[in-house]
Homo-oligomer: A and B are copies of this chain.
Amino acid sequence: MNIIDYIKNIPLFEGLLPEHYKDLTSIAVKRVFKKGERIFSEGDEGNGFYVVNSGRVKIFKLSPEGKEQILHLFGPGEPFGEVPVFSGEDFPASAEALEDSQILFFPRKGFVELIGKNPLLALNMLATLSRRLRTFTVLIENLSLKEVPGRLAAYLLYLSEQKNAGNNLMLDISKNQLASLLGTIPETLSRILTRMDKEGFIKSVGSRNIKILDRDGLYELVGGERRLA
């Protein structure tokens, strides 16, 4: 597949004219990362941003003791690493490929020029950053104002809606990674899944599948109206 075909399918670039697709194609660089490979690290100079073509990428922070907090998970069509492009500073977090991934890299200079010439591209990027601020707001709320059972319930409901999966969910990341996404550790996550199962909210099936038994109950856990026994 050609670079231009990928670019045409990236929501960030929706609505642009053919000539702009050509411009973008001329500055984009295709890169390949193996599963587990580091794409950039917190503190690195950022002279461009990325878009996932295929595969998946996590954005995360590490504590000095090695605990990880996942900030985002990105899949095909999603851009990441934009912050330094516009703020002119280093990457505030690190990025790693969760699977073998193909990534497009857009160098800062060329991209900023394109934005200057192309208000729609600017507005698309503003929308992207705004949505990202919104998801961070939710993450902060979860970490600060909700307990782990509430965060987990919210994630399960999100999965169910986002993937249109009804009540039979298949986790798309390992439980270790899920713990890191929820701001906790695998042991705690495991215990809470067990409790949710025992109390009839869900049924764990194997290690990757979960069946929602009491959707309303999960909502109440999210909202704080109910807690695990």
Q: Show the binding face of A for B, using Cβ within 8 Å.
A: 61-65, 67, 69, 71, 82-89, 92-93, 112, 115-117, 119-120, 122-123, 125-127, 129-134, 136-141, 143-146, 183, 223-225
Contacts and interface: CB of A to CB of B under 8 A. Distances in A.
Contact of A225 (B64, B71, B82, B134): B64
Given A69-B141, A82-B130, A83-B134, 9 more contacts: A64-B224, A69-B144, A87-B131, A88-B127, A112-B123, A115-B119, A115-B122, A119-B122, A136-B137
A92 B134 contact: yes
B224 A63 contact: yes
B127 A86 contact: yes
Nearest to A225: B64
Contact of A133 (B83, B123, B225): B83
